[in-house]
Structure 1
């Protein structure tokens, strides 16, 4: 496959969804490794990765470039056997992949039982530290925080800030407290100020519109590709959802319907996809020693 080839998906769901939403290659790879590689303690060949990504519309050049970037970012390690390159998650990559997989597979999309505790985070760092500030904001958003005002973030739950700041040097610039709103600060208004709910609701409505036509019992033409696209689409939909307490959300909050839809379709695809993937993947045992330096795919 060349970079100029037009990839036409055999599965109608894959063709329709990938025409409507941009799937980031790294998100697809994280989904793929989380679903099919992580628990097997194996390394998978670049050729197998290129094949899987090609079936969801991502060309060979983009697939190999993404593999290389993920090696340089310490998400994947590369092992050469003969003329073939094999890839598997590093320890850092394993944590990232597990975090994403847990976000997709575990827990409810809303907090149904809440004890009323808020975590409040304030931070201040040199103005020139734009990259560090962006990193901290990204970590806080991933952990479910919303910004009330510059340098002040809140989350309606207990949050382990040590875990959020792991592998960073930002702890000394952050102050965190557990608290509850008081005085003129109403929780509903605080939620409205900290979180932009209408665009989040729209993402769930769009997800449901994309996948409802394929919510049936008919076998998928390509269950592996359909499941990869389904799970990646869901991850991109939920990745920065703060999973707010149900009491602060509208009665018709669309995330819950979308979650039921995702889990139902995923359950129907899972067995066939895993069986086919076991037959398709070119893998080697994952205990091979790591390369001493990042290399290209």
Structure 2
């Protein structure tokens, strides 16, 4: 499956592609529709994305196998490819099914060991990026760990590095402490700081955009970046004041508050057509290395 890129920090604002995928994930995913370029430009304009940037993003996403074009008369419509749908479904699952807190960890860890030639800098970068996306952290040189059962074979399959990888699953034994693994492999202070920053941003009066649809896009894009970079560490081994729970509660409250009005606004602006049946599920072109390259969704 495809993997999202490292999006910009909240301080610099989300990339147009991140916002566009959020919009498509909420209002297009699973509906068998293609949306006009004009609709996309209108929606992204509500959060400060210029028409030029929106058009450029659409073109890049087509080139990466994330969108496909459908012309009808003088208008151009864009539909999700299976690649993009997979990205968006993963984001939906992380937000609404997995949640921000790992409350039912079974004590298991997935371990990935690797040894790559020094000259393989790109391959090393790709592997580390993909492991980070999969919730792994570096325990020591050449050994990364993730809490729970992670399908490392599927996560790393398309990198072509199987001969250089060793994958295990197991538990921590004495004299090693779980807390030491968590503290060594993961920057919990940085993760907590991101959740606290989210709480500070979205607790302020007037946070978001001028309308519900724009505010929904900003909120969901911001939150999705957090949960996609959170390794989902076991709550029992985190500080008692871990801010992820409070941040999630705020996200749900705000999301519910925006939802109905945002849906009405989207219905007013969306110009859509049904995706031709012959193209649904058609394999799309693309690199299959989005995360490692740090350039693709969302």
Identify whether the pair has TM-score above 0.5, normalized to the shorter chain: yes
Cα 1:101–1:293 change in 2 (3 A) is closer
Greater relative contact order, per chain length (Cα 8 Å cut-off, separation 6+): 2
Larger mean Cα displacement after TM superposition, 176-185 or 165-174: 165-174
RMSD across aligned C-alpha pairs, in angstroms? 2.4
Aligned to 1:133: 124
Aligned to 1:87: 78
Listed one character per residue, the Cα deviations across residues 243-285 of structure 1 (whole Å, up to 9, x for unaligned) are 1111111000111100000011101111221122122101111
Instruction: Write the distance in 2 (CA, Å) between the matches of 1:215 and 1:144.
Output: 33
Following superposition, the deviation at residue 131 of structure 1 comes to 2.6
Aligned to 1:283: 272
Instruction: Write the distance in 2 (CA, Å) between the matches of 1:103 and 1:214.
Output: 27
Instruction: Write the distance in 1 (CA, Å) between the matches of 2:59 and 2:157.
Output: 24
Aligned to 1:202: 193
Instruction: Write the distance in 1 (CA, Å) between the matches of 2:234 and 2:28.
Output: 34
Aligned to 1:53: 44
Listed one character per residue, the Cα deviations across residues 92-114 of structure 1 (whole Å, up to 9, x for unaligned) are 11111111222222222111112
Following superposition, the deviation at residue 181 of structure 1 comes to 2.1
Contact 2:42 2:269 in 1 (8 A): no
After superposition, where does 1:95-134 map in structure 2 within 5 Å?
A: 95-134=86-125
Contact 1:123 1:173 in 2 (8 A): yes
Cα 1:293–1:86 change in 2 (3 A) is farther
After superposition, where does 1:19-34 map in structure 2 within 5 Å?
A: 20-34=11-25
Q: After TM superposition, where is structure 1 displaced by more than 4 Å over at least 4 residues in a row?
A: 18-21, 288-294
Instruction: Write the distance in 2 (CA, Å) between the matches of 1:237 and 1:21.
Output: 15
Cα 1:233–1:189 change in 2 (3 A) is same
Larger mean Cα displacement after TM superposition, 109-118 or 206-215: 206-215
Match of 2:238 among 245, 249, 259: 249
Instruction: Write the distance in 1 (CA, Å) between the matches of 2:104 and 2:13.
Output: 34
Instruction: Write the distance in 2 (CA, Å) between the matches of 1:28 and 1:172.
Output: 37
TM-score, normalised with respect to structure 1:
0.85
Instruction: Write the distance in 1 (CA, Å) between the matches of 2:191 and 2:67.
Output: 31
Match of 1:156 among 140, 144, 147: 147
Instruction: Write the distance in 2 (CA, Å) between the matches of 1:122 and 1:57.
Output: 43
Following superposition, the deviation at residue 32 of structure 1 comes to 0.9
Q: 2:104 is paired with a residue of what secondary structure?
A: coil
Q: 1:74 is paired with a residue of what secondary structure?
A: coil
1:224 matched to 2:213: yes
Q: Mind listing any 5+ residue stretches in structure 2 that lack a counterpart?
A: 1-8, 287-298
Contact 2:34 2:273 in 1 (8 A): yes
Larger mean Cα displacement after TM superposition, 48-57 or 103-112: 103-112
Aligned residues: 274
Cα 1:285–1:122 change in 2 (3 A) is same
Contact 2:219 2:251 in 1 (8 A): yes
Contact 2:147 2:232 in 1 (8 A): no
Q: Mind listing any 5+ residue stretches in structure 1 that lack a counterpart?
A: 1-17
Q: 2:180 is paired with a residue of what secondary structure?
A: helix
Instruction: Write the distance in 2 (CA, Å) between the matches of 1:103 and 1:81.
Output: 35
